[in-house]
Structure 1
Amino acid sequence: MTEDRPFAHQRRERIVDELRRHGNVRVRDLARLLEVSEPTVRRDIAALDARGLLTKVHGGATLPTALHPGRTPARRNRPGTAPLTIGMVVPSLDYYWPRVVSGARAAAMALGVQLQLRGSSYDQAEDRRQISRLIEAGQVQGLLLAPTLDGEGVGEMVDWISDLPVPTIMVERQTPHWTPTASQLEWVRSDHALGLEMAVRHLHEHGHRRIGLVLSESSPTSAHLARGWFKACAELDLPSDFLVRRAVSLHVPGHRRIIEGILDRCRRSGVTGLIVHSDPDALSVAQYLTEQGVAIPDDIALVGYDDEVAHLAQPAITAVRPAKARVGRVAVEMMVSRLVEGRHRPGQRVLVLPELNLRDSSVKRPESL
């Protein structure tokens, strides 16, 4: 199905990855690899060339030979100076974050800066260790951070980050409360609240008037999704009481029992559309529904969030996809701008809009209407 082929931003990320790996790429090879036409690949290469991420040549592309016109050189043209180095600490290297890192690396390559990556965990103590190691090495001029900002000690963590000796920008994070210290921190993150609104409005447009939301218990994203949920339900005059905060992915002990309880509540309350965060949880729900003979989307429509593996389900799951690579790119561009312009640049806080990828789990086929 065409939905399983990479979308434009996915294709372009793959092209940049192949370029970094091989140094040059050919249109013919990329078309075969990505399962698209050669004109489509040429359009992708032209778009990447316009952003300075590669140099278009006859029949393919090579690594960029210069910065994109109009961008501030990151010390590249200053004789005798080393390139800027930006440290990046992310909580995971196997889900969600690889695409953020890929975008950051692409921007760093285009701007002529180096990126030092460190993996952490969803733990403040480990965050501090990894950040401290980068600082102590004395090689980074700025930091992109995705710290844990829930639980105890959040205020202390924010103060500690604010006191670091190099500029910092938070990635997919923002301080949960206003304080004089927190008010000075910059961040770039996905607009998850809007993403959830998009999911609710999509189901509403397809006739669903009782919708449920299943949120991950410990994800930093959940608070933003809950805000989007209540906002969308209020504006559409929908009940907002069906909000479950439980993890239901396959590795969670007792996940089948939890899903059974959620679906029993769906039947009793007349819910016909369900939004599940995140993808592994949505796949677990889809698998259980199929085993129980519940038709998707005829009996219940399903929408996931994150769009990391939603396309692997049967049927493929409609999902909200945060622009992860774009978040990484913007974070690097913001940091380079801050390092080059210094205190003269006003602080920035950027929201990056997600998109809704429609698949078979939420839209009934014509013969079912």
Structure 2
Amino acid sequence: MSPEQPAQGQGKSLFSLQRRERLMEELRAHGAITVRDIAVKLGVSELTIRRDVNILADEGLVSRVHGGATLPSPLDRSGAAGRQQPHSYSIGMVVPSLDYYWPQVISGARAEAEEQNLRIMVRGSTYDAADNRRQVQALLDTQNIDGLIVAPDMTGESGQELLRWLNALPIPVVLAERRPPEENPAHRLEWVATDHAFGAGMAVRHLWQEGHRRIGCLTDSSSPTSPHVVRGWRQAMAALKNSVEDAVHEDSARTANGDRAAHFDHVLELCEETGTTAMLVHSDTQAVAFVQHCVDKGLKVPGDMAIVGYDDEVAYLAEPAISAVRPPKQYVGKVAVQLMAARLAEGRMRPVHRIQLNPDLILRESSIGAPRGAAAGLLQDSK
């Protein structure tokens, strides 16, 4: 799709944004434009170009001159000096949850948008590609948005189709906590995401330093984060010359009939069989439930089973408090807005940016100071 052709059904406002982007690119290339020349080049009326110039001038992006415009001059006082400036751009934001993990991302985005004089419009969605697209389309249909920050579901054919659709939109799109897969690189999309594999590696190395040699991993493959956590666990174990071939690695998404207690019993049985004394658990809520299950079975945490959670949303509420990897959620939102602001200001000449942020490891009681030894026999005694 050429830059001059808006996506079908996106509305006149998107074409107007693209036209103003072309004006800014002409100004950056030549320093000045005339209304007559640019109207001919874009195939629109001179009145339309004058209106575009007025909008850009009111936003402080250009200086009006007779018959055209130039890049802003410090001598230009014709703008709205002395009165509050309107928001320079409006950004739509679609996230898959409004009650876990994502509120902090939204908070970081809103704070940065305030600093940048941008307007943020947030819509909650679900972990479902079809619903993600509905929410994005609602913003496109009802709001005059200049850019989009989104955390889409990218699984399956529907997720890949959503990614292709986002990549073809005529407005800039920044993915938050998402990275396109190699088979669908979506070359126009920018992203900012936590390096979850690095975070998992920190957790494994911490448990190793605490004396654990058999370290398992319990995740939920329905979460977009879990594959990266598993990858980081595998890489760290390999770096420590510790095989994962017979290590405990369980997926809670496959829990039979949703029976979590039976699933946790199975995990503990595997830990006993393999001498596993430590587990990396994603997510926080699952880590809290797993700790409670261990305690109910008479196991000491961390004495018999050391545990590190992932996300650090509710880990501190457990008894004992759970060590956890903490993604920089507010900074994910902050950097996403920074990427969007730079893209809107610089246009298509700016290279695509893709940024990874390192998480922190917050140490608490669940993984520190455990006796050095396997829990063999303890599970049998507790039954």
| TM-score (norm: length of structure 1) | 0.75
Give the Cα–Cα distance (whole angstroms) in 2 for the partners of residues 190 and 326 of structure 1: 9
1:351 to 352, 356, 366: 356
Q: Which moved more, 1:326-335 or 1:130-139?
A: 130-139
Q: Percent identity?
A: 45
> Following superposition of structure 1 onto structure 2, how do residues 1-369 of structure 1 map, counting pairs within 5 Å?
75=59, 79=80, 82-179=87-184, 182-240=186-244, 241-247=247-253, 253-364=258-369
Contact 1:92 1:119 in 2 (8 A): yes
Shift in Å at residue 226 of structure 1? 1.5
Contact 1:75 1:84 in 2 (8 A): no
Give the Cα–Cα distance (whole angstroms) in 2 for the partners of residues 94 and 321 of structure 1: 17
**Per-residue deviation, residues 304-346 of structure 1 (Å, max 9, x unmatched):** 0000000000000000000000000000011001001111211
Contact 1:248 1:255 in 2 (8 A): no
Shift in Å at residue 205 of structure 1? 0.7
Query: Considering only CA atoms, is the larger Rg found in Structure 1 or Structure 2?
Result: 2
Give the Cα–Cα distance (whole angstroms) in 1 for the partners of residues 87 and 273 of structure 2: 65
Q: Structure 1's 287 and 91: CA in aligned 2 closer, same or farther, altered over 3 A?
A: same
Q: Which runs of 5+ in 2 are unaligned?
A: 1-57, 62-78, 374-383
Give the Cα–Cα distance (whole angstroms) in 2 for the partners of residues 236 and 347 of structure 1: 35
Partner letter of residue 93 of structure 1? L
- Determine the structure 1 residue equivalent to 2:33: none
Q: Which moved more, 1:357-366 or 1:257-266?
A: 357-366
Aligned residue-pair number:
291
Give the Cα–Cα distance (whole angstroms) in 2 for the partners of residues 138 and 298 of structure 1: 55
SS in 2 for 1:153: helix
**Per-residue deviation, residues 241-260 of structure 1 (Å, max 9, x unmatched):** 321111599xx831111000
Contact 1:278 1:304 in 2 (8 A): yes
**Per-residue deviation, residues 68-95 of structure 1 (Å, max 9, x unmatched):** xxxxxx9478638652111100000000
Give the Cα–Cα distance (whole angstroms) in 1 for the partners of residues 87 and 284 of structure 2: 42
The root-mean-square deviation of aligned C-alpha atoms, in Å, is 2.1
Give the Cα–Cα distance (whole angstroms) in 1 for the partners of residues 143 and 113 of structure 2: 19
Contact 2:306 2:370 in 1 (8 A): no
**Per-residue deviation, residues 8-41 of structure 1 (Å, max 9, x unmatched):** xxxxxxxxxxxxxxxxxxxxxxxxxxxxxxxxxx
Partner letter of residue 300 of structure 2? A
**Per-residue deviation, residues 136-176 of structure 1 (Å, max 9, x unmatched):** 12411000010100122233212110111211010000112
Give the Cα–Cα distance (whole angstroms) in 2 for the partners of residues 223 and 292 of structure 1: 29
Contact 1:248 1:258 in 2 (8 A): no
Partner letter of residue 244 of structure 1? E
Give the Cα–Cα distance (whole angstroms) in 1 for the partners of residues 182 and 274 of structure 2: 36
SS in 2 for 1:183: coil
- Determine the structure 2 residue equivalent to 1:19: none
Give the Cα–Cα distance (whole angstroms) in 1 for the partners of residues 87 and 278 of structure 2: 55
Partner letter of residue 206 of structure 2? H
Shift in Å at residue 192 of structure 1? 0.3
Contact 1:162 1:182 in 2 (8 A): yes
Q: Which moved more, 1:316-325 or 1:343-352?
A: 343-352
Partner letter of residue 337 of structure 1? A
| TM-score (norm: length of structure 2) | 0.73
SS in 2 for 1:294: coil
SS in 1 for 2:290: helix
Partner letter of residue 213 of structure 1? C
Contact 1:212 1:274 in 2 (8 A): yes
Give the Cα–Cα distance (whole angstroms) in 1 for the partners of residues 301 and 146 of structure 2: 51
Give the Cα–Cα distance (whole angstroms) in 2 for the partners of residues 76 and 318 of structure 1: 49
